[in-house]
Amino acid sequence: MTTNKELTVNKRNKSLSQEELKEMSKEELIEKIIQLQSHNLQLKNIIQKRDPDGESSNDAASKKRKRKFDFSKSHRRHILLKFLYFGWDYQGYASQEDSMATIEYHLFKALERTCLIEKRESANYHRCGRTDKGVSAFSQTISIDVRSKFPPDEQMLPESIENELNYCVMLNQSLPVDIRCISWHPLTEPEFSARFNCKERIYRYFFPRGTLNIPAMEEGCSYLVGNHDFRNLCKMDVANGVVAFMRSIASARIRQVDNEKTSEDPHSMMFLEIRSNAFLWHQIRCIMAVLLLIGLNKEEPELVRELLDIEKNPRKPQYSLASDIPLNLYETVFEGKDSWVYNQHTLERVVKDIETQWIFSSIKTTMMEEVAKDLRKVLEEKFNQYGETICCGEELLQGAKMRQYKKLLERSKGESLEDRIEHFIKKRRLNVNEVS
């Protein structure tokens, strides 16, 4: 019988015993004190903040006096709920202890305000994707139990679905304008999960054509397709027990956004579309960072293939992430789930809301283009030099810019996966279990 090692995350209690504290080194104790000070400051800030709706303590007390909704007298049904959001002004999708600026915070606030759920813990809730700070979604999906007008044995009848509570309208009335529900899907299986039953997630990353070498970027994309170890093209989340980095990419391609601009116009917008069942932390932003370096002719397309060769390159070279703003969860695919319930009035309202935001964004864009055009004329008249037509793409790469470019594979490398595992074992964040 052979014995293997299995790693598990050591989830510590927030309060450590006196014996555990005595075992910690001086550096670990200092780090713990700093964390507690930071957490204490965050809690103070939360307490001092007013509710985003501007509710005073009197308003809150008045709400408490109101009669609570009696969920014991209502029915519940399991559904998929599809919605979109522009994540530029949010701290990510998932709820956070120290911030109310998350998509999930506003979503559950709306669900509870409309009495569609009693509380999150009992709502059988799963999310399809967890987008990071600044990232948007055009088709985020969750599975959840919500209030229904009909008993379980009648919920799948066509007339019941047609006359069900208008979930999207109810929620959109309570959500910020940059978070909009689009449709819902009735489910018969209470265990169906938006996370675990999702067959494919499609992300898009938008960027201007500029002077980028698009054919070279497309060649780089071709090496991504298939089953690979992406430890050099993601941020390794070893502290949370992620030690396997094999992922299968179904397709990766670069396309132009449908518009009236010609394919050679440097102002035309492009996008990277990448499809997979699951992604790693910052995987797409790492991939896009490398593709931008290729598009800038600073690296060869074969760099992607080199980074996927873990035996040859076991440690990740240091490079900056691509910006979070252009990334969005474009589509989520569920097998056999094609009976989405749409409402004409809801869609018309959502389109109007988005177009209203588009109007003001377009005005800002046009104003910027005009002032840049005028200043280019001054450059030409005063200095006989015409400014660049458009940014070349390097602006999408975060971090400080190098004065003299150094090839990525020649840069200093981070820790290997094995070194990081050992580091967190010593920090007691990971446990090593013997498995026979």
Q: Which sequence positions are flagged as catalytic?
A: 132
Of 216, 223, 225, 233, give the one whose Cα is nearest residue 393: 216
SS3 310: coil
Torsion angle of the four alpha carbons 35, 41, 45, 46, in this order, in degrees rounded to the nearest 10: 50
Per the CB < 8 A criterion, the answer to whether 308 and 177 are in contact is no
List all residues 6 or more positions away from 5 whose beta carbon is below 8 Å from its beta carbon: 432, 433, 434, 435
Q: How far apart are CA 420 and CA 2, in angstroms?
A: 25
Q: How far apart are CA 274 and CA 404, in angstroms?
A: 31
From first CA to last CA, the distance across the chain in angstroms is 7
List all residues 6 or more positions away from 159 whose beta carbon is below 8 Å from its beta carbon: none
**10 Å Cβ neighbour count for 285?**
25
CA 183 to chain CA centroid, nearest Å = 20
Q: How far apart are CA 183 and CA 140, in angstroms?
A: 11
283 half-sphere exposure, CB direction, 13 A CA radius: 25
CA 39 vs CA 14, 30, 81, 99, 272: distances in Å: 11, 14, 34, 12, 38
Q: How far apart are CA 362 and CA 350, in angstroms?
A: 18
CA 13 vs CA 16, 25, 405, 413: distances in Å: 7, 18, 46, 34
Per the CB < 8 A criterion, the answer to whether 128 and 332 are in contact is yes
SS3 235: coil
Radius of gyration of the chain (CA): 25
